Structure 1
C-alpha cells in the first residue's frame, strides 16, 4: 500500500463510522433499530447516489479489496456472536411452542418463496436453477435474531413470555436457515472445491461437538466460572471462531458457517458474567467492522435503473416476504394456542431481517445465484421489512398482554429450584 491508499483507507473508515453512527442514531429517534440507518448508510454511499460519483471517488478499486477484507472479518465475528447468543436455555419451557411456530414461520414463506423463485427466473436466468429457487425460498424465510433481540430489549419485552417465545422461535428458524443455506452453498460450490471437501463437514462437526466443546467447557469453567473474561480467554475464543471460519471456507462452503457453529457450541454452563463479557467484547469489535460490511454491501446495490419492471419485481418480493412470514407465523402461533394479539405481535417480530438477510444475500451473490439487479431488490426488501417491525409491534402490542401459561411451562417452573 502506498501513502495515498493508506490515507484514503483511514478517511473511508472514519466516514463510514460517522455515517453509520449518525444514521443509526437517527433511526433510533424514530423508533427504528440502528441497523436500519446503518444499512441505509451503505446504500447511500453506493453507486445509486449521484450516479456513482460518490462511490467512485471515495472508494476506488484499489481500496475496495481492503475494505472487503475488513468486512469479512467483521461478518465472521458477527456470525460467531449470533451463535453465541442463541442460548439453549431460551428453549427451556418453550420448546413445543417455539417448534410449532418455527415450522409455520419457515415452511410457509419458503414454499411461497420457491414460487417467487420460478417467477424471478424469467428475468434473472442462471445455470443453477434448482439452487436459485431454493435460495430465494431461504432468502424470504430468514429472521434476524440479533435485531429481534435488540428490539425486544429496547421495548422491555426480553424477559416477557412473548419475548421468550420470539427468541426461542427465531433461534430455531436461524439454525434451520443457516443449515439449509450451507447445503445450498455446498451444492453450488462442490464443483469448485470438490465433493471431498464438502464431505469433511461431517467429521468437522463431530470434532467440534466431541472435542472442542469439552475443551471450551474446561477453559471457561475454571474456578467458579463466574469471573470476567480475561484477554487470554477472549483471544483463544476469537482464534477458535476465525479458525472454524477458515475451515469451512476451505471445505468449499462459506466462512460464516464455521464461525456460527463455533459460537453455537460454546457451552451454556459457563457463568452469565463470562458469557456476557464474551458477547460484549465481540460486539465492541463488530461495532467497528460491521459498518464496513454495510458499505461493501451498499457498493453492490445499484438502483439507478429502477423502473416499472423492477417495481413489479420488488412488489412481488415484498408481498411474498411479508405475507409468507407474517401469515405463516400468525397461523402457527394461533394453532399452538397463542391469543390473537400476541400472535400478531410475534408475527411482526419474526418479519424482521436486518443484517442477517444481507449476509445471506452476500453468500448468494458470491455463489453466482444472484445478479446485481436482483441483489439490489432483495437488499431493499430487507430494509423495508426490518423498518416495518417497530411500527407493527407498536400497533399490535402497545400494552402488555398475558400469554396463557402452557402445561409444559408449568412443569418446567415447578422443576426449577429458585436460586438463593
Structure 2
C-alpha cells in the first residue's frame, strides 16, 4: 500500500472503532463519545494493539503516518484550546468575586496538594520523572494534573444534565473558568526555560502590547472577518510561544483568552467547538493513545493511576466541601459541584501531553494520568444525575 492508502486506513480506524463502541455499546450514560474516543486511542496504542498485534501496529501506525496524524492533532488541539480561552467569562467571576474566589481557590489548591503528595512519593522511584524535569516541576505538574477541571467537557456534561443554562450551571462555569486561568499560569511557570529566558521575556512583554492592538482591531472588524483574523492570531500566538519555549498550547490559550466571547455569534462558536470535536479531535485522541506505555508493568501503572484518582477526586470533594461550609451552602450542594468540577478528560490530557513533550514526565506517568482522567470523567454523570434528581431545587441558586 502507498502511504496515502495507509493514512486513509488509519483515519478509517480512528473514526469507525470509537463510534461503533459508543453506538452499539450504548455507553453514553457512563462515557460520552469523546471519552470513548480517548479510550479507543489507548486501545490502538503500543500498550494494547502494539503488544497484541505488533506487525499490524507497525504497519498502520508507521512513523511517516504518525507524523501526518500529529500535524492534524496539533492544529485540532490548538483550535480547541483557543475556544476554551474565548469561552472564559471572567466578568461574571468578578461580579461574584468572593464566592467564586473561595470556591475556585479551594477546588484547585486542595487536589493540587493531594496530587503533589502522590508525586513526592514517585520522585525517588525510577521511571516516573522525565529526564528534563527538576523535582519541583514534576511534583507541581502532577499536582496540577489532579486539580484540573476540563471546561469544554464540563460544558458537554452539564448540557446532558440540563443544567448548563441554569444558575447552578453558570456558577460552576465561573469556578472552572478561574481554575483554567490558574492552570495555564502554572503550566507557563513549569515550562520556563532558563536557557531561553530572554526569548520568554520578549514574548511576555510584547504579548501585552500586541494583544491590546489586536483587541482594538477586532472591535473594528465585522464578525465575518473576525473569524479569519482569529485564526491568524492563533497561529501567531502559538508560534511565538513555542519559539519562546513556553509551548504552542500556552500560546493557543492566550490567543483565546484575550478575545471576548461577544465578538462572535454564540451559536456559531458552539458549532465550531462541536465540529472540531467531531472532525479533528479524534485524531488527537489517537495520537495521545500512541503515547501510552506499560513498560513498567501494567499493575504498577494502574496502582499509580488509582492513587492519582483518589487524590484528584477526594481533593476536589474536600476543597468544595470546605467552600460550602464557609459560604453556607445547602446540604448536598457542595457534593454536586465537587463531582462536576472533578471532570478531567480533555484539558488534563492536553496538559499531560505538554508535560510529556517537554520530558517533565515519562510515558508511564503519562499513561497513569490518562487512565486517571478517563476514570474521573466517567464517574461524573452516574454520580451527579441521581443527586440532581433528589435536589432539583438547588440548580436555581445563583450564589
Alpha-carbon deviation of 1:201?
A: 3.1
Corresponding residue for 1:401?
Answer: 393
The equivalent of 1:49 in structure 2 is 48
Q: CA deviation at 1:395?
A: 3.0
Q: State which of 60, 73, 76 in structure 1 corresponds to 2:75.
A: 73
Superposed displacement of residue 30, structure 1? 2.9
CA RMSD of aligned residues (A): 2.2
* Structure 2 unmatched runs, 5+: none
Q: Which residue of 1 aligns with 2:194?
A: 190
CA distance in 2, matches of 1:283, 1:403: 25
The yes-or-no answer on 1:142 pairing with 2:144 is no
Classify the secondary structure of the residue corresponding to 1:402: helix
Identify the match of residue 374 of structure 1 among 365, 382, 392. Answer: 365
TM-superposed deviation, 1:93: 4.5
TM-score (norm 1): 0.86
Label 1:92 to 1:28 Cα distance change in 2 as closer, same or farther (>3 A): farther
Match for residue 106 of structure 1? 108
Matched residue, 2:5: 7
TM normalised by structure 2 equals: 0.91
2:289 corresponds to 1:298: yes
CA shift at 1:328, angstroms?
1.2
Partner residue, 1:385: 376
From the superposition, tell whether residues 94 and 153 of structure 1 become closer, same or farther in structure 2 (CA, over 3 Å).
farther
Structure 1 residues 114 and 305, CA gap change in structure 2 (3 angstroms)? closer
- 8 Å Cα contact 2:111-2:146 kept in structure 1: yes
Q: Alpha-carbon deviations, 1:262-285, whole Å to 9, x = none? A: 1112124436xx243134235424
Is the Cα–Cα contact under 8 Å of residues 295 and 364 in structure 2 kept in the other structure? no
Label 1:208 to 1:151 Cα distance change in 2 as closer, same or farther (>3 A). farther
Structure 2 CA distance for partners of 1:184 and 1:14, relative to 1, 3 Å:
same
Counterpart in 2 of 1:324? 315
Q: Secondary structure of the residue that 1:309 maps to in structure 2?
A: helix
Residue 349 of structure 2 is aligned to residue 358 of structure 1: yes
Go from structure 1 to structure 2 and tell me whether the alpha carbon gap of 1:308 and 1:45 turns closer, same or farther (over 3 Å shift). Answer: closer
Residue-pair matches, total: 390
Measure the CA separation in 2 of the matches of 1:337 and 1:301: 43
Structure 2 counterpart of 1:178: 184
* 1:189-268 alignment runs, 5 A limit: 189-191=193-195, 194-219=196-221, 222=222, 230=224, 232-268=225-261
Q: Cα–Cα, structure 1 residues 167 and 22, in superposed 2: closer, same or farther, change >3 Å? A: farther
Q: Is the 8 A contact 1:338 1:403 kept in 2?
A: no
Distance 1:237 1:161, change over 3 A: same
SS in 1 for 2:393: coil
Contact preservation (8 Å) 2:29, 2:381: no
